Amino acid sequence: MVITRFAPSPTGRLHAGNIRTALVNWLLARAMGGRFLLRLDDTDRARSTEAAADAIRADLDWLGLTPDGEARQSDRFARYDAALEQLAAAGRAYRAYETPEELELKRRVQQSRGLPPLYDRAALALSAADHERMVAESRAPHWRFKLDHDAPIAWEDGVRGACHFHPEALSDPVIRRADGSWLYLLPSVVDDAEMGVTHVVRGEDHVTNSAVQLQMFAALGAAPPALAHLALLTGADAALSKRLGSEGVDSWQAAGIEPLAVCALLARLGTSQPVEPVTGLDPLIQSFSLSHFGRAPARFDPQDLQALSARILHALPHEAVADRLPGLGADIWTAVQGNLTRLDDARDWQAIIAGPVSATVADEDRDYLQTAAETLERLDWTPDVWQALTGALKETTGRKGRALFMPLRLALTGEAHGPDMASLLPLIGRDAALARLRGA
Ligand code: GLU
């Protein structure tokens, strides 16, 4: 059974990049009939907040990416203690005491010698007596994971293909700070192993972490998950992003972006597949494969999001929007949807159809509109009454094109632009239409 997880730190709102990670993990789980977990990486107690955790859940919910289960790292410290004990007993974790200043100095010396800034493992040479002295001096240790330099690191990445790392080119990572707090690396491995996560899909900024974590899985005797690292998203122009709302769900909501548009765009950005205005998540699930993702960074342009959102609205069936537009029937939806850039605009058209409308018409059109009212009064009220009306008026008044249509549109809707009048007029109804033409 495929199990994926999305593991944000609840320290702020989600943005396009990590929403894409969530979406890809959700799609992978759905495509494989598996499970998708939300794991809150809240080991940083100072920066994690309950409000951020709630916002993450709400954002996923809005997008339709509801998790099948949830875990939080702050509930699991005892597991991490046990894992560290296991690693220490096996000689794969060790105590070190260097201060950040001492480590920085070491790095500078290495740099000046043209050497890579790797931890020199000085703490491995400490004797039992040295450790006792440190304790006596009340110097608390931090813990490092000891990489196995004799075990080359390799995996077949779901996006990047064959990946190789030489462990001796990596520093033994700090896994627990001197104040007892956990860094992300080891808890994540413990959780992925215990929760049976089969696929870890995340941004390529985690590639080096993955190399280290593969050795942690092995050291803990756990089978590693399959790994895939997505190329990063690059944003369009920052000012534009701000205006059109590329930052996250709250700005997308404010801009009237459909959640489906976010999913449709982010599911296909950076893949070999075209971005399409889907009317549900199913087509994205059915066409999903990690193998479609390329290694090149993909550009996220919020303008694409707006355009796609409008195209999705133009295609959504009434039942897909009915609960978000209570009281707005299928007839109105069908008449106005092709004109919408945001769902809320349907309400404006509903109000225009219901009336009253205030229209400003030109003096030279007043007689024409009275003629229109008289003509309409004589016509049968059929679904194609608009064609009948404009056909008759064309003949009797000699008007055509804009001069024929625009005064009618203005008088009937109060707007110079809008949905096809042939669909609107039957919805406005005979009495209201006559009153609007006469009153113009
Ligand atoms: N909390 C980590 C992050 O947000 C999780 C990375 C992972 O998916 O393992 O970057």
pLDDT in tens, 333-381: 999 999 999 999 999 999 999 999 998 889 999 999 999 999 999 999 9
State which H helix or E strand residue 69 sits in.
strand 69-72
Per-residue pLDDT of 113-146, as tens digits, reads 999 999 999 999 999 999 999 999 999 999 999 9
| Ligand 1 pocket check for 41: Cβ under 6 Å | yes
Give the Cα separation of 332 and 320 in Å (integer).
14
CA 106 vs CA 96, 118, 121, 172, 379: distances in Å:
14, 9, 11, 15, 92
Q: Mapped to the 3 state alphabet, what secondary structure does 201-249 carry?
A: EEEHHHHHHHHHHHHHHHHCCCCCCEEEEECCEEECCHHHHHHHCCCCH
Among residues 31, 39, 43, 53, which one has the least CA distance to residue 288?
Answer: 31
- 73-98 average pLDDT score: 98
| Sign of the dihedral through C-alpha 250, 252, 253, 255 | positive
Q: What is the band of 245 on the pLDDT scale with cuts at 50, 70, 90?
A: very low
Alpha helices in 16-159 (DSSP H): 16-31, 50-63, 77-89, 100-112, 128-136
> Is 159 in contact with 295 (CB distance < 8 Å)?
yes
Buried b / exposed e over 47-85, threshold 16 CB at 10 Å, is ebeeebbebbbebbeebebebeeebbbeebeebbeebbe
Check if 78-176 and 363-439 are the same fold: no
| Ligand 1 pocket check for 202: Cβ under 6 Å | yes
Give the Cα separation of 196 and 260 in Å (integer).
30
Rounded to the nearest 5 percent, the helix, strand and coil shares of the chain are 55, 10, 35
| Ligand 1 pocket check for 206: Cβ under 6 Å | yes
Among residues 196, 232, 194, 200, which one has the least CA distance to residue 213?
Answer: 200
- Amino acid code (one letter) for 140: A
**DSSP-based three-state secondary structure for 364:** helix
> Where does 78-176 sit in CATH, by number?
3.90.800.10
In this prediction, residue 239 carries a pLDDT of: 54
Give the Cα separation of 106 and 307 in Å (integer).
53
Buried b / exposed e over 418-431, threshold 16 CB at 10 Å, is bbebebbbbbbeee
> Where does 363-439 sit in CATH, by number?
1.10.10.350
- Name the residue with the closest Cα to ligand 1, atom 7: 7
Q: When comparing pLDDT for 171 and 361, which is higher?
A: 171
pLDDT at 152 exceeding the cut of 70: yes
Looking up tokens 């309409």 gives 376
| Ligand 1 pocket check for 4: Cβ under 6 Å | no
| Ligand 1 pocket check for 246: Cβ under 6 Å | no
Q: What are the structure tokens assigned to 317, written together?
A: 């069936």
- Closest ligand 1 atom, CA of 209? 9
In this prediction, residue 301 carries a pLDDT of: 87
- Amino acid code (one letter) for 405: F
In CATH terms, 242-320 corresponds, of 3.30.750.24, 3.90.1300.10, 1.10.1160.10, 1.10.760.10, to 1.10.1160.10
Give the Cα separation of 16 and 252 in Å (integer).
10
Give the Cα separation of 61 and 53 in Å (integer).
12
- Closest ligand 1 atom, CA of 205? 10
In this prediction, residue 155 carries a pLDDT of: 98
Looking up tokens 């709302």 gives 245
How far away, in angstroms, is 6 Cα from ligand 1 center? Answer: 8
| Ligand 1 pocket check for 187: Cβ under 6 Å | no
Q: What is the band of 248 on the pLDDT scale with cuts at 50, 70, 90?
A: confident
In this prediction, residue 236 carries a pLDDT of: 61
How far away, in angstroms, is 275 Cα from ligand 1 center? Answer: 27
pLDDT at 241 exceeding the cut of 60: no
In this prediction, residue 244 carries a pLDDT of: 47
Q: Rounded mean pLDDT of the chain? A: 95
> Is 423 in contact with 335 (CB distance < 8 Å)?
yes
- Which of 206, 214, 230 maximizes ligand 1 atoms within 8 Å of its Cβ, making it the mutation to test the pocket? 206
How far away, in angstroms, is 202 Cα from ligand 1 center? Answer: 7
Least confident of 241-245, 279-283, 355-359: 241-245
In this prediction, residue 360 carries a pLDDT of: 87
pLDDT at 41 exceeding the cut of 80: yes
What is the secondary structure of 146-168 as a DSSP string? ---TTS-EEEEETTTEEEEE-GG
- Amino acid code (one letter) for 51: A
| Ligand 1 pocket check for 248: Cβ under 6 Å | no
In this prediction, residue 242 carries a pLDDT of: 52
Fold observed for domain 3-69+186-233: Rossmann fold (3.40.50)
- Closest ligand 1 atom, CA of 192? 9
Give the Cα separation of 186 and 57 in Å (integer).
24
pLDDT at 109 exceeding the cut of 70: yes
Give the Cα separation of 360 and 289 in Å (integer).
55
Domain boundaries, the chain: 3-69+186-233, 78-176, 242-320, 322-354, 363-439
